[in-house]
């Protein structure tokens, strides 16, 4: 292999593809053709998982049809947490390496993540009333997810609160990184403290405490929710990049006229 | 190599570690008040003063449930246990659908005279295992599980179990 064949700026380090995609123009070239496929796959999997879960999967022995809320509630909860983890990673890139795309991604992830968290809270509360007998209780699991929702809202507000965008990015990145401490609290809340919310059903290492014909639709709908989150965030990032390009082009044109 | 990027990375890591340690210590210190309910064992060891409202959680003891009707309002007596201690509970009102012997419940109320917990509200707590009715029936018939006496057997023994169609 001849080393000279590689262009000078070609990323070769581990994680180099992140640096490669950190350029907004390059990101657009990759994302725009992929987006329709991503959205289509997300829609297909969400519909397949939910229809399978609500129509064809068996009802639970104890909870009956109410357990079907899990095909929305559980994927929404997982995506809400994974979305916040992604937000924290973007914030790290934004604070330490000052990646322009990480700033945009963090700004666009907030509202989508908050939406999934709201979906998780609302569906959970509709599940809680018929099963537990209460829409809401202040146990550690429910409260920590509510805190996650407020962290998302705080991030959305903070990142847009400054006239100088860079200041907003720094402040919001610090909030996102500090808030990431809530993620292990959400996951382990049901083990560390007595909660009304039940423990974890799905485990990667041991057997999952769910019958196989109920597990499959849950996994399909989870995959669909993940892809939907990614598709929405990518679409928002593309739109934000276009918006910035348009704004700077207009500014340049205005300066030329003046 | 003390580039600005490296310095910022170390700064973020150091701040993150300190913050995580602070939160961890705080949670450990407040652990008892973060608990949603007291178990009968905790209640027996450190009983709250009479009249003070708290939550009691545990399993409805098998064979302890008795209901009397006054007009149309049922009053239910049952015992909540955690396997080591049991507390008698009295509740007037309609119980949640999932209430049964062997079910986890959280009762909100206070200690009344005679060591009876007087509940204002009873919430049902359900397990984390999901299975169709016929799998539960098959496990019961095979003598592997009775929902009255604790959680289901290890998941790998039933989560792909074959059951007769239409049973």
Question: Which residues in chain A have Cβ-Cβ distances shorter than 8 Å to B160?
Answer: 211-212
Structure confidence at residue A158 (pLDDT): 95
Structure confidence at residue B143 (pLDDT): 84
Q: Which helix (H) or strand (E) holds B67?
A: strand B66-70
Same domain, B144 and B104: no
Question: Over pLDDT 90: what percentage of chain A?
Answer: 72
- Per-residue pLDDT of B44-76, as tens digits, reads 888 888 888 889 999 998 888 888 888 888 899
**Closest by Cβ to A211, choosing from B12, B135, B137:** B135
Cβ contact, residue pair B19, A178, below 8 Å? yes
Same domain, B51 and B29: no
Cβ contact, residue pair A193, B124, below 8 Å? no
Same domain, B45 and B59: yes
Question: B145 — contact with chain A (CB < 8 Å)?
Answer: no
Position A243 pLDDT exceeds 90: yes
- Per-residue pLDDT of A66-106, as tens digits, reads 999 999 999 999 999 999 999 999 999 999 988 889 999 99
Same domain, B50 and B16: no
Q: Which of residues 98-127 of B touch A (CB under 8 A)?
A: 98, 106, 121-127
Question: A15 — contact with chain B (CB < 8 Å)?
Answer: no
- Per-residue pLDDT of A129-164, as tens digits, reads 999 989 999 989 999 999 999 999 999 999 999 999
ipTM above 0.95, yes or no: no
Q: Is residue A217 part of a domain?
A: yes
Range of the domain at A78: 34-200+210-257
pTM higher than the cut 0.80: yes
Position A2 pLDDT exceeds 60: no
Residue with tokens 């070609």: A10
Instruction: Provide the 8-state DSSP code for A4.
Output: G
Question: Which residues in chain B have Cβ-Cβ distances shorter than 8 Å to A15?
Answer: none
Q: State whether the Cα torsion B49-B50-B54-B57 is positive or negative.
A: positive
Position A247 pLDDT exceeds 50: yes
Kindly report the number of other CB atoms within 10 A of residue A32's CB atom: 14
Question: Over pLDDT 70: what percentage of chain A?
Answer: 92
Predicted confidence band at B102 (pLDDT cuts at 50, 70, 90)? confident
Same domain, B68 and B26: no
Q: What is the DSSP string of B57-76?
A: EEEEPTT--EEEEETTEEEE
Cβ contact, residue pair B132, A58, below 8 Å? yes
Range of the domain at B148: 129-167
């Amino acid at each position: 292999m001849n080393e000279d064949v590689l262009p000078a700026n070609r990323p070769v380090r581990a994680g180099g593809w992140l640096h490669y995609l950190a350029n907004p123009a390059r990101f657009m070239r990759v994302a725009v053709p992929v987006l329709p496929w991503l959205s289509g796959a997300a829609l297909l999997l969400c519909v397949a998982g939910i229809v399978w879960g609500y129509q064809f999967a068996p009802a639970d022995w104890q909870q009956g049809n109410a357990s079907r809320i899990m095909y929305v509630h559980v994927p929404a909860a997982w995506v809400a947490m994974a979305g916040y983890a992604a937000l924290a990673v973007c914030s790290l890139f934004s604070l330490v390496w000052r990646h322009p795309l990480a700033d945009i991604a963090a700004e666009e992830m907030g509202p989508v993540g908050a939406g999934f968290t709201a979906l998780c809270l609302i569906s959970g509360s509709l599940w809680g009333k018929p099963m537990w007998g209460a829409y809401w209780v202040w146990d550690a699991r429910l409260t920590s997810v509510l805190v996650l929702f407020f962290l998302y809202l705080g991030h959305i507000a903070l990142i847009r609160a400054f006239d100088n965008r860079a200041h907003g990015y720094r402040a919001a990145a610090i909030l996102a990184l500090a808030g990431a401490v809530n993620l292990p609290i959400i996951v382990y809340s049901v083990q560390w403290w007595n909660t009304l919310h039940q423990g974890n059903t799905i485990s990667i290492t041991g057997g999952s405490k769910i019958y196989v014909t109920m597990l499959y639709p849950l996994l399909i709908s989870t995959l669909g929710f993940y892809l939907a989150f990614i598709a929405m965030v990518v679409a928002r990032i593309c739109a934000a990049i276009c918006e910035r390009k348009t704004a700077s082009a207009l500014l340049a044109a205005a300066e030329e006229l003046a | 190599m003390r580039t600005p990027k490296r310095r910022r990375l170390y700064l973020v890591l150091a701040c993150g570690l300190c913050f995580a340690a602070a939160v961890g210590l705080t949670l450990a210190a407040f652990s008892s008040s973060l608990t949603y309910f007291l178990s009968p064992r905790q209640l027996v060891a450190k009983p709250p003063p009479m009249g003070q409202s708290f939550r009691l959680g545990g399993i409805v003891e098998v064979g302890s449930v008795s209901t009397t009707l006054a007009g149309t309002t049922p009053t239910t007596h049952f015992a909540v246990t955690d396997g080591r201690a049991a507390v008698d509970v009295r509740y007037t009102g309609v119980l949640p659908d999932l209430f049964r012997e062997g079910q986890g419940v959280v009762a909100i109320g206070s200690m009344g005279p005679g060591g009876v917990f007087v509940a204002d509200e009873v919430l049902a707590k359900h397990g984390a295992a999901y299975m169709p009715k016929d799998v539960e029936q098959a496990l019961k018939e095979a003598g592997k599980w009775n929902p009255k006496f604790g959680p289901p057997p290890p998941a790998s023994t039933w989560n792909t179990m074959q059951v007769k169609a239409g049973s």
